[in-house]
Amino acid sequence: MEISVSYLSSKYDPKRTIQMIEGTSANYIHVDLMDGGFVPHKNFSISEVLDLLGDHQKPLDIHLMVFDPIIYIHDLASLHPRYITFHLEATKDIVGTIEEIRKYGIGVGLSIKPNTDLYELMPYLSFVDLVLIMSVEPGAGGQAFLPTSVNRLEELIKIREENHFSFQIEMDGGINKDTISFVPTLDIAVSGSFVCQSEDFQKRIDELKNRM
C-alpha cells in the first residue's frame, strides 16, 4: 500500500507542511482543492496552488472537490501531477472531464462520496486509472472514518476482479494507525491530520506502514 499525505489540516502553514512531507517516505503529496460550492469551504486560487507546488519533488495526487472540474485541468496540468481526481457527483460531463485529463497524459481519478451508490461508477470504470472512495464527507480534515467504507472497498475490489479492470483504489478521510488496519487491501491510503498534526511526520508514516 502507498501513502499519500494531505496538507489540508496541519500544525504548520502549507508551504512548511509540504517541505516536511517532502522529507518523508510518503509516496505522494495529496492536494485537496475546494471551491466553496461542491463543498462549503474554498481554499485556493489557481495562482496560489501553482505558487505553493511549483517546485515540488514528490508526485502530486490532486483531489478536486469542485463543481465543473474540467475548467481547472489546463492550469493544473502545468504541475505535471501523477493523478487528477474529480467527483462523480460534481459534473454532468464525466466523459469530457476524463478526456481532458487524459489529453495531458495525467492519470485520471474518479471519486465517490460516502452515500453515493458504487454502481454509479460502473459506466466509467474501464476509462479511469484510480477510484477514490471517500471515507468521510468531503470538505474537511480531522473527521472520523466511516466504518461502511470497509464494505465499499471490498465491493469495489470484487467489481474490479470480475470485470478485469485495472484501476488503483485509494481511500481518503479519517485514516490513522487504527483505521488503516481495517483496509489492508487498499492500493493508496490518504492521511491528513494524523500525519500533519504531529511534529514527526516520518514517525506517523512509519506507524501507518506498520499497521497495513
C-alpha pair distances (Å), 12 with each of 87, 160, 195? 28, 38, 11
The DSSP letter of residue 125 is T
Taking CB under 6 A as the criterion, which residues in 174-193 touch ligand DX5? 174-175, 190-193
C-alpha pair distances (Å), 176 with each of 105, 154, 164? 32, 19, 30
Give catalytic status of residue 187 as yes or no. Answer: no
Q: Report if residue 81 touches ligand DX5, rule: CB under 6 A.
A: no
Number of residues that bind Zn ion (CB under 5 A): 3
Spatial CA neighbour of 89 closest among 97, 100, 81, 79? 97
Contact assessment for residue 94 and residue 110, using Cβ atoms and an 8 Å cutoff: yes
User: Which residue is it, cell 469495489?
Assistant: 156
Among 100, 129, 172, 207, binds Zn ion (CB under 5 A): 172
* Span of 14-22, 70-78, 98-106, 136-144 interacting with ligand DX5 by CB under 6 A: 136-144
Name the minimum Å distance from CB 118 to ligand DX5. Answer: 18
Pick between residue 136 and residue 156 the one whose CB is nearest to ligand DX5. Answer: 136
Which residue sits closest to ligand DX5, CB atoms considered?
Answer: 192
How many angstroms separate the CA atoms of 212 and 184, rounded?
5
* Span of 110-118, 143-151, 164-172, 179-187 interacting with Zn ion by CB under 5 A: 164-172
Among 3, 8, 26, 94, binds ligand DX5 (CB under 6 A): 8
- Per-residue binder mask for ligand DX5 (CB under 6 A), 147-176, x = binder: -------------------------xxxx-
Q: What is the grid cell recorded at 159? A: 467489481
Give catalytic status of residue 32 as yes or no. Answer: yes
Q: What's the residue count for the chain?
A: 212
- Per-residue binder mask for Zn ion (CB under 5 A), 19-58, x = binder: -------------x--------------------------
Q: Report if residue 66 touches ligand DX5, rule: CB under 6 A.
A: no
Q: State whether residue 28 is helix, strand or coil.
A: strand
Q: What residue type is assigned to position 114 of the chain?
A: P
Spatial CA neighbour of 70 closest among 105, 95, 42, 89? 95
Footprint of ligand DX5 (CB under 6 A)? 6, 8-9, 30, 32, 63, 136, 138-143, 172-175, 190-194
Catalytic sites, residue numbers: 32, 172
